[in-house]
Chains A and B, each alone.
Chain A
Amino acid sequence: ETGVTQSPTHLIKTRGQQVTLRCSSQSGHNTVSWYQQALGQGPQFIFQYYREEENGRGNFPPRFSGLQFPNYSSELNVNALELNDSALYLCASSRPTGTGNTIYFGEGSWLTVV
């Protein structure tokens, strides 16, 4: 049990639609990151939020966007869904940046785009 909770656990969307995924971070963790894990692959870094600001982004297009709220919870929004957006989306929380800080993952949200 990592204390990182995500919702919904599973959802199916149609190509071109928009989706919002939600995450509550572990208590005391003010840094939230989102990762995309395609089937059979390792997670890929999407972006990170710290103090409600995006402070790092991986190689993902602008239609992937996010928010962090004052209580450190976060949302991942994906617009104009494509078939290859089908994946497990993982939220991870940690304390402020620093060497060796443990990063805890939630169970993920399974997104299927049809």
Chain B
Amino acid sequence: QQQVKQSPQSLIVQKGGISIINCAYENTAFDYFPWYQQFPGKGPALLIAIRPDVSEKKEGRFTISFNKSAKQFSLHIMDSQPGDSATYFCAASGKGSGSARQLTFGSGTQLTVLP
């Protein structure tokens, strides 16, 4: 019930194209959905996040679409650039044991943007 499923595992896009990564969750107690970008040898860096009372959030070239009824959310990267090549993780946050808020991560998508 705590799992977040992410697809695809890997994605290759031409420069200027749109990259789309999808995630699905089961636990309806999740109430915060961030996306993280991770470069090799680095820690995850927050890209953009959304709450379930909003269906879409856009920041620059990055957009999250959220479908509460389907329990799905996705990341769209417009005008993809070679510098966007990284691993992307979706995550969901809710209260776990005790009073802690913990992130449950998807398995990651390795994005390659070809020049």
Contact = CB atoms under 8 A, between A and B. Distances in A.
A55 B99 contact: yes
A101 B95 CA distance: 12
A40 to B, nearest CB: 8
Contact of B43 (A40, A56, A58, A106): A106
Interface residues of B, number: 30
A92 B46 CA distance: 11
Interface in B84-103: 89, 91, 93, 95-103
A99 interface: yes
A50 interface: yes
Nearest to A46: B102
Contacts of B100: 33, 47-48, 50, 55-57, 97
A61 to B, nearest CB: 15
A42 B106 contact: yes
B107 A57 contact: no
Contacts of B34: 102-103
A104 B97 contact: no
Interface of B: 6, 31-32, 34, 36, 41-46, 49, 51, 89, 91, 93, 95-108
